[in-house]
Chain A
Amino acid sequence: MNDSTLSIYVSGVGGFGIGSVIRILSSAAQIKGLKAIGSETHGLAQRGGVVISTLQIGKDITGSPLIIKGSADIVITLEPLEALRAMPYLKRKGVIIYNTQKFQPLSVRLGSAKYPTLDDIKAELEKVTDRVIPVDASLKAKELGLSESANVVLLGRLTREGAVPFDIETMRQAIRETTPARYLDINLKALEVG
């Protein structure tokens, strides 16, 4: 990975729009004339298990789309526990943004494990970076009328924070290019409220 490559690690629970995050960012990269390589999880893990995608954006990318531990410039997770699980990939001084809507794993529901508090998760992540951004993205998305657009709410916030090398207009265009017509308006709004 060259210094000019931006490494983005995206994770969450199967079925919550991780693929779209990759598609939107990858499309934004193309609009800006940058290359993008990525990896996805398919198969059994999508049944409520941990799903991980990665994306690397840059002028000249070589190597694997997978990310080396401790080198993700940005970690985006759609569930707080998964933010904690993704922690080893986060670069020191990197950005981690996550949806605070919890989905309890089986181990927690059956009482064999304890779900950490949101405060504990945040404190833990702050050991790696001071750029820890929890967002109640699901709530904001529901206010817009589409819970699936929580992922775009996170992308909107990332754009506002200046964490991705794309301005809001580029992100809007990327969303137009990747979102089915019926969800387009809501996704564009989700970008704004983020």
Chain B
Amino acid sequence: MSEYDILLGDAGTKANLLGNYAFVRGMIESGVQVATCYPGSPTAEMANALLEISEKAGIYFEISTNEKVALEVAATSAIMGRPSVCWMKSVGLNVAADSAVQLSYLTMPGGLVVILGDDPGHLSSQNEQDNRYYARLAYVPFIEPSDPQEVKDFLVTAMKVSQKYQAPVFIRATTRNCHQIGAVTFGEKTKSQVQVKWDNETMRRDGGYIPLPGTFPPMKRKALENLKKIGDEFEVLGFNKGSRIGTDDPKIKIITYGHTFQSTVSALNYLGVSAEILKLGVTHPLPKRAVTNFLESNGEVHVLEELDQILETEIKALCYDQGIKTKIIGKSGLSDELDLKIGEYDPTRLVNVLAGRLGIETALNYSESSFPVPVRSPQLCPGCGHRTAFYATKKALGKDKEAFSMADIGCYSLGFLPPYNLGNLLYCMGSGAPAASAVSKAFPSENVISFVGDSTFFHAAMPGIVNAVYNKHRQVIMVMDNGITAMTGHQPNPNSGFGANGPSPRILIDDILKAFGIRFIERVPSYECAKVEDALKRAFEFTKSPDGGVAVVIQEEPCALRKSRMERKAGTLPNPLRIDLDVCRNIQNCLKNFSCPAIEKSEDDKVFINTDLCIGCASCVQTCPLKEKPMKRIDDFKRV
């Protein structure tokens, strides 16, 4: 019995679901046979649900090595006639883009829906890119749900439309769609009527699957025709809805979509302002009929859209084409144009925006603390092996040399924060080693290091590492091996020894690096600072030796959060430590330079250990310079 079993329920079941679980229910109702992803916020919880119930749901589910691979597996399944869904975080589409832009040229009888986890407000991504551009680049229709019921319903309809036109559909799932909880009424589960087929006849249908100079133009024509047909179909499927807020005559007309629609309703209710709203469920292609009907009168219409002014621009173009004189107010040309392009449109913000546009004075009524509230940034968990490795790295690199360390994507990106300040340039997954290569060319006498996690290693880091070997760059690569994709909630990766479908051969990073021709590869236990430091020092020496080049130090320790949770459950979590103040000389190195969250500072400026946080790993002990260590395990502690 799994907590996700409710997603398998019969039609008519009502449940309060997180948006991500509503997506999974949508897959089950659509008769999806193949589901693939690479985990990433805000879509990660879909994987967690399917890891437990995919078999019962009759869905083949895999966590692929990266988004491009995931998309290729799902799209090809759709081509074979199997209903398929693939999802990824916003920036994951950059990785998958090479294949994503090809999708619309190919005939996909099974149906393919791609869920794009956009992140306006950059709550958990390296940017807040607006993936609506990709829909335009790839000629793929783009639909935008708001609440969890719509999340489920839109996915089901998108799959039907995708199967009808044998063409892909994108669904946008912003953080607020994915992490919103709301009531969902389940619909019927359907079985796919599409035959699974791939043979010498189907491989040539509709111009085939190989775009050549001669065959490409008709493929593109088909993509453009499908886009138009699907757009027309969406217009009559009820995706776009008009609504009234308030009972008075509308004071404002608004076009919006997705969670921004919900924020708009909240803001209007708060302000007590009546409005007429057109909520779009499809934003590409622009639903011209629905928009034109809404615009047909003079006056003003406000377009409320997060991030870039894509709808605004297209609606303005539509007005020009149709000779409509309505004034369109979005972002463009406004005094706060730049601000409006940054961050999400939450209800508080829209109260301000709408109050400003309606000439309502100081609408919000709240107080802030009169003294500063200390920042609380995310940090590596208590007992995290990355922390001990960073502590040792800092020593091995030497004073004020942090700039020569390059970051990558994962929990270890947090090494950037004080007191470590390690990993100081970051583009995206796999960018650490190439960045370090360039640094080593510019500063040949410096020790240069890049960090990479195990999941990132398989996802995108290998080409950069091969490049470093091939082009004879000098750098140390530190592999942060915790055996799991930790940051997104502990999904397995090729280094885990298991996958979405049970045990899997563990693909050893050491063996791969050896095959790349790297001659310095050492695996060290992260918790042992002296060993990590020693290995690093020798690795730096190696990079500078005449026949050196790339050296690798693999620091190994299972994810402390995952391990401590399992130990807590099993009752085997080691007792926490305490500081013996008779021994402690208050040097505070453990607090200031190691900085495990469990080590805190008392009001009289003494160090103490928070026993609620301490997982008993004892790795802080080695950071104390005293011969007799003041950190002592509490013998008679009862974990509660």
Name the residue of chain B whose CB is nearest to the CB of A79.
B376
* 8 Å CB interface, A101-154 against B: 101-116, 120, 124, 127-128, 138, 141-142, 144-147
* 8 Å CB interface, B128-176 against A: 147, 176
A36 to B147, CA, bound (A): 12
A-B contact list, 28 entries, CB within 8 Å = A1-B270, A13-B376, A37-B180, A37-B182, A37-B183, A42-B41, A42-B178, A43-B487, A43-B488, A47-B414, A48-B379, A63-B269, A64-B262, A67-B347, A68-B270, A69-B364, A85-B373, A102-B600, A103-B613, A104-B600, A106-B379, A107-B374, A107-B376, A110-B418, A113-B374, A116-B373, A147-B612, A147-B640
For the complex formed, measure the closest distance between the CB of A179 and the CB atoms of chain B, giving whole angstroms.
12
B377 touches A49 (CB 8 A): yes
Asked if A156 is an interface residue, CB under 8 A from chain B, the answer is no
Q: A37-B147, A71-B270 are in contact. Are A64 and B181 (CB under 8 A)?
A: no
A124 touches B369 (CB 8 A): yes
B181 touches A26 (CB 8 A): yes
Other A-B contacts than A42-B44, A47-B487, 4 sampled, CB-CB below 8 A, are: A38-B182, A66-B176, A66-B266, A109-B591
Count chain A CB atoms within 10 A of each CB in B346, B347, B595 and give the residue with the most: B347
Count chain A CB atoms within 10 A of each CB in B41, B147, B179, B369 and give the residue with the most: B369
A13 to B612, CA, bound (A): 13
User: Which residues on B sit within 8 Å (CB–CB) of A45?
Assistant: 123-124, 378
Q: Which of B269, B367, B599, B640 contacts A109 (CB 8 A)?
A: B599
A36 to B314, CA, bound (A): 36
User: Which residues on B sit within 8 Å (CB–CB) of A108?
Assistant: 374, 601
User: Which residues on A sit within 8 Å (CB–CB) of B375?
Assistant: 105, 107, 113
Q: A45-B378, A67-B347, A113-B375 are in contact. Are A103 and B44 (CB under 8 A)?
A: no
For the complex formed, measure the closest distance between the CB of A145 and the CB atoms of chain B, giving whole angstroms.
5
User: Which residues on A sit within 8 Å (CB–CB) of B372?
Assistant: 113
B347 touches A43 (CB 8 A): no
User: Which residues on B sit within 8 Å (CB–CB) of A15?
Assistant: 561
Count chain B CB atoms within 10 A of each CB in A15, A105, A109 and give the residue with the most: A109
Q: What per-residue 1/0 map shows which CB atoms of B326-346 lie under 8 Å from chain A? A: 000000000000000000001
Count chain A CB atoms within 10 A of each CB in B366, B417, B488, B597 and give the residue with the most: B366
A39 to B374, CA, bound (A): 24
For the complex formed, measure the closest distance between the CB of A89 and the CB atoms of chain B, giving whole angstroms.
7
A115 touches B374 (CB 8 A): yes
For the complex formed, measure the closest distance between the CB of A78 and the CB atoms of chain B, giving whole angstroms.
12
B180 touches A38 (CB 8 A): yes
User: Which residues on B sit within 8 Å (CB–CB) of A46?
Assistant: 378
User: Which residues on B sit within 8 Å (CB–CB) of A110?
Assistant: 418-419, 591-592, 595
Q: A26-B181, A64-B176 are in contact. Are A42 and B347 (CB under 8 A)?
A: no
Q: Which of A40, A49, A66, A106 contacts B18 (CB 8 A)?
A: A40
Q: Give 10 closest A-B pairs by Cβ, nearest first.
A: A70-B366, A43-B124, A63-B266, A43-B41, A49-B378, A113-B374, A105-B376, A64-B262, A38-B181, A63-B265
User: Which residues on A sit within 8 Å (CB–CB) of B599?
Assistant: 109
A69 touches B366 (CB 8 A): yes
A185 to B374, CA, bound (A): 37
For the complex formed, measure the closest distance between the CB of B49 and the CB atoms of chain A, giving whole angstroms.
13
Q: A47-B411, A87-B369, A109-B600 are in contact. Are A42 and B45 (CB under 8 A)?
A: yes
Name the residue of chain B whose CB is nearest to the CB of A41.
B179
A40 touches B347 (CB 8 A): no
* 8 Å CB interface, B1-60 against A: 16, 18, 41-42, 44-45
A47 touches B379 (CB 8 A): yes
A102 to B597, CA, bound (A): 12
Q: A87-B368, A90-B366 are in contact. Are A111 and B124 (CB under 8 A)?
A: no
User: Which residues on A sit within 8 Å (CB–CB) of B612?
Assistant: 101, 103, 138, 147
Asked if B370 is an interface residue, CB under 8 A from chain A, the answer is yes
User: Which residues on B sit within 8 Å (CB–CB) of A88?
Assistant: 366-368
User: Which residues on B sit within 8 Å (CB–CB) of A14?
Assistant: 378
User: Which residues on A sit within 8 Å (CB–CB) of B259?
Assistant: 64
A24 to B346, CA, bound (A): 25
Q: What per-residue 1/0 map shows which CB atoms of A28-67 lie under 8 Å from chain B? A: 0010000111111111111111100001000000111111
Asked if B530 is an interface residue, CB under 8 A from chain A, the answer is no
Asked if B586 is an interface residue, CB under 8 A from chain A, the answer is no
User: Which residues on B sit within 8 Å (CB–CB) of A146?
Assistant: 640
Q: Which of B181, B379, B419 contacts A65 (CB 8 A)?
A: B181
User: Which residues on B sit within 8 Å (CB–CB) of A2?
Assistant: 269
For the complex formed, measure the closest distance between the CB of B486 and the CB atoms of chain A, giving whole angstroms.
9
For the complex formed, measure the closest distance between the CB of B182 and the CB atoms of chain A, giving whole angstroms.
5
Asked if A76 is an interface residue, CB under 8 A from chain B, the answer is no
A68 touches B374 (CB 8 A): no
Asked if B456 is an interface residue, CB under 8 A from chain A, the answer is no
Asked if B280 is an interface residue, CB under 8 A from chain A, the answer is no
Asked if B460 is an interface residue, CB under 8 A from chain A, the answer is no
A20 to B368, CA, bound (A): 27
Q: What per-residue 1/0 map shows which CB atoms of A70-104 lie under 8 Å from chain B? A: 11000000000110110111101000000001111
Q: Which of B16, B364, B381, B489 contacts A36 (CB 8 A)?
A: B16
A104 to B266, CA, bound (A): 35
Asked if B467 is an interface residue, CB under 8 A from chain A, the answer is no
A147 to B591, CA, bound (A): 24
